Amino acid sequence: MRRPYLVLAGVTAGWGTIPILVAWSTLPAQLVVAMRLWTGAACLGVVLLVDARLRRSLLGAPQPAPGPRIFSQRRGLCALAALVLAAHWLALFAAYQKAPVGTVILIVYLAPVGVAALAPRLLGERLGRRTLVALAVATLGFALVAIPTAASAGGTGLALSLIAAVLFVALILISKPLAATYGGLRLAFMELAGAGLVLVPVGLLSAWPAPTADWLWIVVVGVVHTAVGITLYLSVLAKVPATHVGILSYLEPVAVVVAAWVWLDQRPTVATVAGGVLVVAAGIIVATAGTRPRRAARLLTPPPSIDPAIPSR
């Protein structure tokens, strides 16, 4: 199994612990999102600053970072990615408050199907037979995982879940060409910092509860799951077909079930276990499949004047 797929599987599975950590905090959803963005952006900003100073001190003179400067290319698309990220997380966490978690997950994680439908047209990716088989297997497995926990939900919860799903599709498709241009670290900083700026009014207008030790769980999410996790995710997104990324994202809800079993003593059903096995099998299929040659992209890939082969480090 190739290393990028192992990294992606580890990141998406690790994100499955986020609902547990968030549940241990006392913050409302919009403040969880804001703190996660601000903490992640601050961490990556420090990393970029330290990296620049180290290069200056080791080489004796200011040296440009490998690749383009932050927000120097495709600025409109960069701003759109930050806005979509902020809106996606707000819709997702708000949906969790309005509808059962199983219902939300069932709707939001239909997004990989949307990615598979749009990636050939927007990114020039070809869907091989093994990828289509893996997508079908993952979707079936995901349904077995999510349906047992799904329940009826009001119109608001369903609408928010659908919005989050559409934004999830858009985020993957927009981030794919930007990751190839900027690399994972700089793109992660731009998306988190931009989305964090969007959430400043939300933070200012919200009623903040008194700080407690439980807030440290959100700091963990901001540093580990957001700063580190999203950097790795975007670095891999630059190298792996967007459809494969979508399929492997099904590992996240499976990991949620495992985390709930371990920490909350919520035992999964036989159908849930079977679904998890199918999702893992789908991940193995895409990880061992050979990549197909890409057709000329039509809308989102970098223009010819931009070198897409910029190192992500």
Tens-digit pLDDT profile for residues 156-199: 877 888 899 999 999 999 999 999 999 999 999 999 999 999 99
70: its two tokens:
């932050």
Residue 291, SS3? coil
Residue with the bigger pLDDT between 298 and 8: it is: 8
Tens-digit pLDDT profile for residues 49-99: 888 787 777 665 555 556 688 888 889 999 999 999 999 998 988 887 777
281: its two tokens:
């099998």
Q: What is the pTM of this model?
A: 0.82
Instruction: Render the burial of 177-189: b for 16+ CB within 10 Å, e for the rest.
Output: bbbbbbbbbbbbb
Instruction: Render the burial of 64-103: b for 16+ CB within 10 Å, e for the rest.
Output: ebebbeeeebbeeebebbbbbbbbbbbbbbbbbebbbbbb
Give the separation between CA 285 and CA 19, rounded to whole angstroms. 28
Give the separation between CA 92 and CA 101, rounded to whole angstroms. 10
